[in-house]
Structure 1
Amino acid sequence: MLLLRWLWIGNGNDGEIPPIAVFWTLRVLMFVISFVLEDWAIHELVQKPRNRRVAVLLVASSYVTWTFQTHTFSNSIETLIVAWCLVLIERIVASPQQSSVLASAVLGFLAMFGVFNRITFPAFVLIPGIRLVPYYWKHPGSLAMIVLAGAYTAFFAIAVDTAFYTKHSISWSDLIYHPVLTPLNNLLYNIQPSNLAQHGLHPRYQHLLVNLPQLLGPAIILLFTRPHRSFHLYSAISGIFVLSILQHQEARFLLPTIPLILSSIRLPKKETTLRVWVVSWIVFNLIFGTLMGIYHQGGIIPAQVFMSRQPDATQAVWWKTYMPPVWLLNGKNEVLRTRDVMGMDGDLLLEELTQLATCDTPADRRNMEYLKEKNGTYLIAPLSASWLDPYLQNKGLEGLRFREVWRYEKHLNLDDLDFAEDGFWNTIARVVGRRGLAIWRVTKSCRK
């Protein structure tokens, strides 16, 4: 970010970088980091040249690499940390007679950083980490180094989190008596079923039977028919097992397992079978790459950029979408309050909008004149939210009025699939046929 600021100023601009420029810089940065570190880790983990070439090709051609790994997801970062912890474990175990003080220090840092990044991290390194026990039993110096590096990283992370979440300037007493322990808070939150219910409860077979095939496609067949046993495959299996115990299961939670699995399978031997598999692999990744990389919740970022340019916007209600990143508002979040109501019931949504909506004025009825108003309430929702249809056409004197001011077609709300109530084809027709994200300016009739 400091380098970006220098480049920005060097090109004749001021020091204020537009958030969308930061957004794309982070995307490119994640692409470069994944391109270098992920491939490098695979080169280290897969020893045989032929298997290594296949592994690198499979990981590079997977839509998971194109989409999820180019995002700043904590899961994407976890993927890189897990891979490099396994690399360091392999290096240490492979040379037990040599001192691995430096490798142990880096491993201690990465392991603790992984815990503070996501509390699920230990699940992926538990089985491979057991191999280190005999080594550290014989090398207490390396053991001391990994403990010291981990302790220092933990202290630094706690200090940063405490400073971030404390309103006043922190002192040593705050760190001692009132530290912010992010992994502990995360754990305490996630062991409460009532908290998980807000994000969605899933059956414990969701990861194995739904999410993993969604991420691997045809490669899931080779995982069960032609696996290459390795410790990084055992790492993936242990991660899947532990994550399956939890009741909230999203596909992105399994991201660290994908490069580990793809580097632990062998392609079919028969030429005909191989051709069929390759074609299915290409088709699968093209379809899901387009779906997840372009359409799935694709309107969130453009919508937030649009909202940052609305001078009258003071209230924004986001319904049936992902949580919008408020930092993209370019400082407008000081006057614009963003409300993420997620899957709120429609009647409650109308009550919320009724309280927030401004009174309808002559300016609201003229083209673009409403932008001169001091306050404005906006609703951001997918076009597939058919519940809104009866209210959008209101032209009368009573009730809420919705004026569409923006629309983005490349948006699919895959979290609004309701096959049980609407049926399969009706749900597909609604979600796919009515794809898109819209923004309405909401007003109401006020009696004088």
Structure 2
Amino acid sequence: MAGAYLSWRQFYFVLLGLRFYFALSNSYIHPDEHFQTLEVLTNRIFNYSTNVPWEFSSKDPARSIGVLYLLYGPVLYAIKFLNLDFSPLQIWYILRLQNVILGWIITDMCIYRLLPTKPERIKGVYFTICSFVTLVHQSHLFSNSIETYLVILSVLIINNLRLSNETKEEDENHHWSLIWLGAIISVGTFNRVTFPAFIILPFWFVFQYLWSHKIKTFHLAIGFLLPTISLILVDSISFGKSLKEIASAPLNINSYIITPLNNLVYNSNYSNLSQHGIHPYYTHILVNLPQILGPGILFLLKTSYWKTTPFLSMASAILVLSVIPHQELRFLMPIVPLACCCFDLYSFSSKKEGDTKKSTWGSILMNSWYIFNASFAILMGVFHQGGVIPALDHFHAENFQSDPSHNTIQVWWRTYSPPTWILGYKENTLQAITLNDETFAEGYTLDSSKTNYLFDLMGSDEDKILNFLTELKATQNTSTIYLVTPVASFNKVFKNESLAFNETWSYTYHLDMDHLDFSDIESLRPGLGIYELL
């Protein structure tokens, strides 16, 4: 038993090391990990020239900047005031490491306190840290990563209140638990408006507790109201409201900017959601959940944990979020530690001598779990759009080594939208233009006050990218023009064209998952290149 425990502990530290490794890898899973965090903050704190998304620039902002200041502001302001000479890439690594450490402490602590026995705790921690979502996604600067930590903290507090109410054993510290729960609900909702979906069902136990301890409702209320008021004030001032305007009509809701409310209003409009993708209502259950849990979903089919608080939280989120027609896989990230706490291994094991059927199935499932998570950790943690950030860092380094007045034009094709904050260009020196099928027809105008230009052509047709580069070469002959595209796409489209290029940089660990053609083996070739148009 001691040897087995030591073996598990050794494996745990190997996986912990992998969490730090993947935190320092360059994979790029979804644009929101940049465009809803550092694309916004670095513009305000470091005066970087960035492409601030609509959620933070419209007249009705739909994302809280107060939460971003709370999470990442201390590190960024420390770097600024201490005048530390960190590149954007180094800043990104530091904040990712912050997420890893924060997640490691919170997740393991909560699982340890949620589960009643040592074997249960080992199981919960073991499967959670094995998951590719934990190894990769949780270090990325997603609002979903922060939501995961807040969800499991709230589930722990709710579970403690539930046990206290059921056992009639009063804990004098529960008033602090309620204050913290209120604060977590507030910050969680401002971080992501989906947060309440994870606690709707479990919150029944809070109602039961407060029914028996009505005076303590005040503690929950004060815990919720203080951060809520603070975040509303920070958001309102950050998005242009003045203190004078607020003070002149403090009871007028129009004096404030309430970002969760704006977010709800925006997402309640079906035509708005259709711009981001409409999915069938079964997508979370039949597509996203199996992708997140893989073979582990079979450990939930015969689970005996369906009455537990983690299971109720998981079920609550899946049911509520499945009603929303826009369903992305990352929306279910917070269920991973909850599901791992509810994995029922006993259904696939047998203590009866000679009965090998269940144990064989258990071994197959465990091996499948390892293969599934190892494969997705490598794919999503290393290769997925892995060259975008290093390419931007290359441009950042080249810019500071060259003549600042020299005009450069970057044309990005068949990659995720490049987060321009990584370039580290000072404010008003870069113009970023996105061209798709609609905006191509409208045309574009270059701002002559800028010295650098970035075109994101997304997944435009091959003929459009050829015509566009030909036009740029003819009209912008005083600028250096670079094409940034996957190696496979460049070889397919440009090798036999009249346009001449010089490859100036390449990165091997990049895979474009959106333009694979299994009938053409060349399209499977990994790599991203920067090509100078001659």
TM-score after normalising by structure 1: 0.82
The answer to whether residue 158 in structure 2 is matched with residue 89 in structure 1 is yes
Post-superposition Cα deviations, 1:35-55, rounded to whole Å, max 9, x if no partner, equal: 110011111221122111111
SS in 2 for 1:438: strand
Q: Among 342, 348, 352, which residue is 2:458 paired with?
A: 342
Is the 8 Å Cα contact of residues 317 and 380 (structure 1) preserved in structure 2? yes
Letter in 2 for 1:329: L
Q: Among 134, 140, 143, which residue is 1:65 paired with?
A: 134
Is the 8 Å Cα contact of residues 357 and 376 (structure 1) preserved in structure 2? no
- CA positional deviation for 1:5: 7.7
- Going from structure 1 to structure 2, the CA distance change for 1:436 and 1:287 (only over 3 Å counts) comes to same
Post-superposition Cα deviations, 1:133-156, rounded to whole Å, max 9, x if no partner, equal: 122233333212212221221221
Question: Equivalent residue for 2:55?
Answer: none
Post-superposition Cα deviations, 1:295-339, rounded to whole Å, max 9, x if no partner, equal: 111112112111223434544343333333222222346422233
SS in 2 for 1:105: helix
- CA positional deviation for 1:209: 1.8
Question: Equivalent residue for 1:293?
Answer: 381
- Which 10-residue stretch deviates more, 268-277 or 79-88? 268-277
Alpha-carbon separation, structure 1, partners of 2:183 and 2:381: 32
- Which 10-residue stretch deviates more, 107-116 or 274-283? 274-283
How many residue pairs are counted as aligned between the two chains? 415
Alignment RMSD (CA, Å): 3.0
Is the 8 Å Cα contact of residues 182 and 224 (structure 2) preserved in structure 1? yes
SS in 2 for 1:15: coil
Alpha-carbon separation, structure 2, partners of 1:331 and 1:360: 21
Alpha-carbon separation, structure 2, partners of 1:160 and 1:377: 41
Letter in 2 for 1:380: V
Alpha-carbon separation, structure 1, partners of 2:215 and 2:421: 45
Q: Among 122, 132, 145, which residue is 2:206 paired with?
A: 132
Q: Among 77, 96, 104, which residue is 1:27 paired with?
A: 96
- Going from structure 1 to structure 2, the CA distance change for 1:351 and 1:142 (only over 3 Å counts) comes to farther
- CA positional deviation for 1:254: 0.7
Alpha-carbon separation, structure 2, partners of 1:59 and 1:91: 21
Alpha-carbon separation, structure 1, partners of 2:256 and 2:463: 41
Question: Equivalent residue for 1:204?
Answer: 281
> Runs in 1 of length 4+ with deviation above 6 angstroms?
3-10, 167-170
Q: Among 229, 245, 264, which residue is 1:155 paired with?
A: 229
The answer to whether residue 526 in structure 2 is matched with residue 435 in structure 1 is yes
Is the 8 Å Cα contact of residues 246 and 256 (structure 2) preserved in structure 1? no
Question: Equivalent residue for 2:261?
Answer: 184
Alpha-carbon separation, structure 2, partners of 1:193 and 1:358: 43
Post-superposition Cα deviations, 1:219-277, rounded to whole Å, max 9, x if no partner, equal: 01111134522221121112112222223222111101111011101222143333222
Question: Equivalent residue for 1:368?
Answer: none
Alpha-carbon separation, structure 1, partners of 2:381 and 2:504: 25
- Going from structure 1 to structure 2, the CA distance change for 1:314 and 1:189 (only over 3 Å counts) comes to farther
Post-superposition Cα deviations, 1:107-137, rounded to whole Å, max 9, x if no partner, equal: 1110011111111111110000111112223
Aligned pairs (5 A) from 1:39-438: 39-96=108-165, 97-99=170-172, 100-166=174-240, 171-173=245-247, 176=252, 177-229=254-306, 230-267=308-345, 268-269=348-349, 270-311=358-399, 312=406, 314-332=408-426, 334-339=428-433, 340-346=456-462, 349=465, 359=475, 375-385=479-489, 389-391=492-494, 393-395=496-498, 402-416=501-515, 425-426=518-519, 429=521, 431=523, 433-438=524-529
Is the 8 Å Cα contact of residues 86 and 128 (structure 1) preserved in structure 2? yes
Post-superposition Cα deviations, 1:385-410, rounded to whole Å, max 9, x if no partner, equal: 47x844454336xxxx6544322221
- CA positional deviation for 1:8: 10
Question: % of aligned pairs identical?
Answer: 34
Letter in 1 for 2:372: F
Alpha-carbon separation, structure 2, partners of 1:346 and 1:9: 47
Is the 8 Å Cα contact of residues 392 and 402 (structure 1) preserved in structure 2? no
- Going from structure 1 to structure 2, the CA distance change for 1:6 and 1:145 (only over 3 Å counts) comes to closer
SS in 1 for 2:410: strand
Select the structure with the greater relative contact order (CA < 8 A; seq sep ≥ 6).
Answer: 2
Question: Equivalent residue for 2:11?
Answer: none
Letter in 2 for 1:406: W
- Going from structure 1 to structure 2, the CA distance change for 1:416 and 1:182 (only over 3 Å counts) comes to farther
Question: Equivalent residue for 1:15?
Answer: 84
Alpha-carbon separation, structure 2, partners of 1:321 and 1:113: 33
Alpha-carbon separation, structure 2, partners of 1:8 and 1:184: 32
Letter in 1 for 2:309: F
- Going from structure 1 to structure 2, the CA distance change for 1:271 and 1:161 (only over 3 Å counts) comes to same
Alpha-carbon separation, structure 1, partners of 2:288 and 2:184: 27
Question: Equivalent residue for 2:453?
Answer: none
Question: Equivalent residue for 1:366?
Answer: none
SS in 2 for 1:152: helix
- Going from structure 1 to structure 2, the CA distance change for 1:152 and 1:348 (only over 3 Å counts) comes to farther
Alpha-carbon separation, structure 2, partners of 1:345 and 1:115: 40
Is the 8 Å Cα contact of residues 106 and 149 (structure 2) preserved in structure 1? yes
- Which 10-residue stretch deviates more, 249-258 or 336-345? 336-345
- Which 10-residue stretch deviates more, 159-168 or 125-134? 159-168
Letter in 1 for 2:384: H
Question: Equivalent residue for 1:369?
Answer: none
Letter in 1 for 2:152: A
TM-score after normalising by structure 2: 0.70
Is the 8 Å Cα contact of residues 327 and 333 (structure 1) preserved in structure 2? no
- Which 10-residue stretch deviates more, 407-416 or 346-355? 346-355
Alpha-carbon separation, structure 1, partners of 2:286 and 2:136: 22
- Going from structure 1 to structure 2, the CA distance change for 1:351 and 1:183 (only over 3 Å counts) comes to farther
Question: Equivalent residue for 1:367?
Answer: none
